[in-house]
A and B are shown apart, each in its own frame.
Chain A
Amino acid sequence: MSSDLTRFTAAELAAKIQAGDGEVHAFLHVAAEKAREVARGVDADVAAGREPASPLAGVPLALKDVVTTEGIPTTAGSRMLEHWVPPYDATVTARLYQAGIPILGKTNMDEFAMGSSTENSAYGPTHNPWALDRIPGGSGGGSAAALAAFQAPLAIGTDTGGSIRQPGSVTGTVGVKPTYGGVSRYGLVAFSSSLDQAGPCARTVLDAALLHEVIAGHDRMDSTSIDAPVPPVVEAARQGLSGDLSGVRVGIVREFSGEGYETGVTASFEAAVKQLTVLGAEVVEVSCPHFGYALPAYYLIAPSECSSNLARFDAMRYGLRVQLPGAGAEEVMSATREAGFGAEVKRRIMIGTYALSSGYYDAYYGQAQKVRTLIKRDFDAAFAGVDVLVSPTTPTTAFKIGERVGNPMSMYLADLCTVPASLAGVPAMSVPSGLSADDGLPVGLQIMAPALQDHRMYRVAAAYESARDAADGGPLINRIPELEAVKA
C-alpha cells in the first residue's frame, strides 16, 4: 500500500480541507463528524485486537457528491438539490462504511455529472492542483483534485462517458470505470442509467484495486448489477507490480490518433506503448471502425436518458421550489426547473427530449442504439485478438478554465476516447503516463478490457506504473507543485 494512505489521519485531513480548500475547491461539504465517528470505530477495533473491517479500514476517502449519504447533504453539483439531505445511503456508501472507510466529505462535480471540466457545478469550479487556472477534468473533477491536492488518499467517482478517467488523466491520478454492472448504482443520482458506473480514484493502481474490491459486487437493489464474483483486481495489481507483461497482448486502437490530439499527448502515449513492449507485452494495432460514431451516439443516448431521469426534479417532493404565489403546479415546475438547472443540463434535457420525440426517435435515439451494437461488436472483434486495448485517455491536457465554456461541442471532444468503453459497458481506466512536453501537465494512458476482465487492465496498469515510477525516480504525483495551503 502507498505510504500516502497513512500520511494523515482522517481528522487531520478533515481539518486540512476545512482550512485550505480555497485554492482548489474540491469539496462541497466536509463531513468531519461522521468521518471521525467511523475512524473511532476502526481505532476501537485496533485497540481491541480485532481484524480490521478491510485492508482500507481507517483510510479516509472523498466521495463524489452524486452518491447519496444519509444525513449528509447530496447536491449532485446542482442548485436543484442545494439543501437536500437524503434519507438513505447508496450501496457504495454503505460498503465504504462497512469497510471502515471514513468519508471526509462530498466532492465538487459538474451538475448532475454533465460536463468534462467541473465548471458546470452550481457551486463554482474546481481548480486543477497542477495549475490552478486549469480545469481538473469532469464531471468528477472534485474527486480527482482532492487526490492531487493530497486532501484525501482515496476517492469515489462516477463515470458515464469518461467522468472518472478524464479527470484522472488531467490530474495525474488513477481513475477506473469498472465493468458496467460491477458496482451497484443504487444511490447514484442518475444521469444516464445505461452508462453510469461508480469506480475508484486513487494515486496508485494498487490503492485503486483495493478500493475497487470494497465497492464492487452484486447488489440486489440494482437490477443491472452483475451476479458474479468480483474480478480479482488486487491480485492482478500485485502481480503487475512485478513488472512482467510477457504473454500479454496489447492492442492500439488505430482510430484514436491524428487530428485533435496534442503532440505532447501523442508523444506520451507512444512512450507508454514502448514501455509496455519493454515489459514484455506484444503490441499490435487494431481497428475499431465504428468508434468514430461513438461520440455522436453517446451524445444522443446520455441526453435521452437524462431527460427522463431528471424529470423527477419538479419542485413537488424535494429540492428547490421557486415560489410563485397563485401559480399552478405546472408553472411552478417549469419555473423551478428553469432556475434550478444550469445551461448544460438544460441543453442535454432538450436534446434528449428531441431525440425521443415521436417522429425523431428512429433517426436519433434508435439509430444511436444500433451504433451501440456496432461498437460492442468492434470491441468483441478486437478482444478476440488482444487482451487489452490502449489509447490516450483524452486528446489534450487540462485546458484553461473558461476556455471551452461557450462551445459545448469542443467540450464534448474531451470524451472522444472514453465513450466507446462506456457504450459497450466494458471496463476502462486511466493511469498517469507522465507530463506533456507541451505544457508540463499530466497525460493519461487509457487501458480497456473485456467485460468482467477488469483485472487484466489492473495488471497492465500496475506494471506500467512501476516501470514509469522507476524511470522517473518516483511517482508522478510527487512532481506536483506545492499549494500555498500546504506550504503554509
Chain B
Amino acid sequence: MTSVADLMAYDEVLDRFDPVLGLEVHTELNTQTKMFCGCTTTFGAEQNTQTCPICLGLPGALPVVNAVGIESAIRIGLALNCEIAQWCRFARKNYFYPDMPKNFQTSQYDEPIAFNGWLDVLLDDGSVFRVEIERAHMEEDTGKSLHVGGSAGRIHGAEYSLLDYNRAGVPLIEIVTKPITGTGERAPEVARAYVSALRDLLRALNVSDVRMDQGSLRCDANVSLMTKDATEFGTRTETKNVNSLRSVERAVRFEMCRQGAILATGGSILQETRHYEEVSQSTRSGRIKETAEDYRYFPEPDLVPIAPSREWVEQLRATLPELPWERNNRLKADWNLSDEEFRDLVNAGALELIVATVDAGAPADEARSWWVAYLTQQANTRGVELAELPITPARLARVIVLIAEGKLTTTLARQVVDGVLAGEGEPDEIIAARGLAVVSDDSALLAAVDEALAEQPDIAEKIRSGKVAAAGAIVGAVMKKTKGQADAKRVRELILERCAEQ
C-alpha cells in the first residue's frame, strides 16, 4: 500500500521527469454472437446459460470466425486511420488461467488486422493532441470468476472460486497506442481525453456498447517516467482495472507521483501489473511473477488466415458514419460558432443535448441558448450534470416551438420548463394545468389596453401626440394585468391602433 508520503508532488514530478504513456483499450463488440461460436452475447443472463462446446473449450470443439467481428475490426481500424492488413492470422496466446476454457486465448500476435493509425483528441483548452495508434487486433474475452470466502469477492484469501463462462468468447478488439510522449503536465488529461474520444468513436461506429461500468470498455494504462536528459524510456508499470474516465486520469497521475518518488530516492521501478483501486484512488501491486510470462504464441491452426480484399475494405470504409471530429467541425460551422464557443459547449456537456433538441425540431441557436444559459443555471443550482436534468431534448424542443408559434412568451416558457423540471409532465399539459397560454384573444387584450390607457391618461396623450416610445409603459401595465400571458408585440400594436383611433 502506497501512502501519501511515498508520493512525489505532481509539479516536482514534472520538473524532473517526462511522462510516457501507453494505453491499451479492450472493447467488447456488440455482435449478436460470440467471436468463434453462435452463443448469444446478451449481458446479464443467468450464469452458464450462454455456452456451447466451443466456448466451453470442450474436447473436439472448433472455432469459426464471426464475420461481423471481422467487419467491426476493420471499420474500427479505418476510423482510427490505420492500414488494414492484406493478410493476417489469429494466434494462440498460451497461458493457464481458470477463466479461460482452452487455456489459450485466441488472439492476434505479430499480424494484427489493423496497424499504424492515429486518433486526434480534443483537450480541455480546445487544442488537439494526436495519439498514434500501434495496432488494433481481434481476440476473445474470458469468463468471469467469483471468489468465495475471505474478504468480499477478493482473490486473496478466497476459499474457492466459481466460474461463469457466459462472457467467454465474446469478441474483443484491443487497441494499443504507440508510446505517447510530449504531453508534459497534461499526461493524465491526455489519457482521459483519449479514452473518451475512443469511446465516442466506437459509439458512433455502433460497434460496441462502450459501457465502462459494465466492462464493455476497459483501459489498461502503461506509465513510465524518463529523466529530462534520458534518451530511453524508463521502466513502465501497467495499471489494470481502470473503469471510468475519471479513474484513467487519476491512475496516470498517481503512477507518475508514485514512480517519481521511487526514482528520486534512487530506487528502480519494477515492471509489473498494478491494479487501480477506486476507493483509495491509488494503484496497488499485483502478484509478482517469478519469471517473465512466455505465451508461446503460434498461428492458430484451427482458423484459416484472413485476407480482406481491398474491395471489401473500401465497401466497409463507405459504411463509416460521420466520425465525431468530422461532426464537430460540421456543427461548429452550421451553428456559426467560434472554436471557443464550441469548446465551452462541449465542456458543459451540452453538445449531444443540443443536437438532440435540434433533431426534435428546434432551431439550433434557440436550443443552444436554452441549454447553455437557463438550463446550465438550473443544473448548477441543483448540483447535477446538464444531462442529468429531468428534461428531455424533445420536451425542450416543444417549448421552443411554442414560443416560435407565439403561443408562449419567454417568461411563460421558463415557467413551462420549470414545470417539466418539477416532473409535471409534457409542456402542453403544464400549459393547460397552470393556465399559461398566451392570451391571443384581441377582445380580452383590448379591454386590458383600454383599462391601462384610462389609468394613465397622460401617457395616453403622449402616444396620441406621436411619442410612440411612451407605449412601453402601457405595454408593461397590460402585461401585468394579463400576468405575462399576452404577446407583448401584439399588445403594442393594439395600443397604437387604439390611440390612432381616438
Contact = CB atoms under 8 A, between A and B. Distances in A.
Contact of A312 (B57, B62, B294): B57
Q: Is the interface of B mostly helix, strand, loop or mixed?
A: loop
Given A86-B60, A190-B59, A312 B103 contact: yes
A192 B301 CA distance: 9
B62 A316 contact: no
Nearest to B53: A88
B96 A318 contact: no
A222 B37 CA distance: 11
B67 interface: no
A324 interface: no
Given A311-B104, A312-B57, A357-B296, A220 B64 contact: yes
Given A312-B101, A329-B161, A356-B296, A318 B92 contact: no
Interface string B279-290: 000000000000
Given A223-B303, A353-B296, A88 B58 contact: yes
Contacts of B102: 311-312
A189 B96 contact: no
Interface string A379-399: 000000000000000000000
A341 interface: no
Contacts of A76: 59
Interface residues of B, number: 29
B216 to A, nearest CB: 25
Given A312-B103, A329-B98, A357-B296, A193 B61 contact: no
Contacts of B297: 356
B262 interface: no
Contacts of B447: none
B301 A317 contact: no
A220 B38 CA distance: 12
A224 B302 contact: yes
Contact of A304 (B53, B63, B298): B298
Contacts, number: 98
A186 B61 contact: yes
B59 A74 contact: yes
A135 interface: no
Given A221-B64, A222-B62, A308-B104, A317 B294 contact: no
Interface string B56-91: 111111111100000000000000000000000000
Nearest to B95: A311
Contact of A81 (B59, B62, B304): B59
B101 A188 contact: no
A223 B59 contact: no
A484 interface: no
A365 B92 CA distance: 14
A74 B304 CA distance: 28
Contacts of A185: 62
Contacts of B63: 223
Contacts of B92: 308
A187 B58 CA distance: 9
Contact of A316 (B64, B98, B294, B303): B98
B94 interface: yes
A142 to B, nearest CB: 18
B404 interface: no
Contacts of A305: 298, 301
Given A223-B302, A317-B101, A330-B96, A68 B60 contact: yes
Contact of B98 (A88, A90, A314, A353): A314
B163 interface: yes
Interface string A290-326: 0000000000000011011001111011100000000
Contacts of B302: 190, 193, 223-224
B22 to A, nearest CB: 21
A333 interface: yes
A473 interface: no
A87 interface: yes
A232 to B, nearest CB: 26
Which of A185, A223, A330 has the most chain B CB atoms closer than 10 A to its own CB? Answer: A223
A356 B64 contact: no
Interface in B250-306: 294, 296-298, 301-304
Contacts of A84: 59
Nearest to A184: B62
B60 A186 contact: yes
A258 B92 CA distance: 41
Contacts of A314: 96, 98, 103
Contacts of B303: 223
Contacts of A478: none
Contacts of B301: 192-194, 224, 305
A270 to B, nearest CB: 38
Given A223-B62, A330-B96, A356-B298, 16 more contacts: A68-B58, A86-B59, A86-B60, A88-B58, A185-B62, A186-B60, A187-B60, A189-B60, A193-B301, A194-B301, A223-B302, A311-B102, A312-B59, A312-B102, A313-B59, A329-B161
9 contacts: A86-B60, A187-B61, A193-B301, A193-B302, A223-B63, A224-B301, A224-B304, A317-B101, A361-B296
Interface of A: 67-68, 74, 76, 81, 84, 86-88, 90, 185-190, 192-194, 220-224, 304-305, 307-308, 311-314, 316-318, 329-330, 333, 353, 356-358, 361, 365
Interface of B: 53, 56-65, 92, 94, 96, 98, 101-104, 161, 163, 294, 296-298, 301-304
Minimum-distance CB pairs A-B, first 4: A311-B103, A356-B296, A193-B301, A194-B301
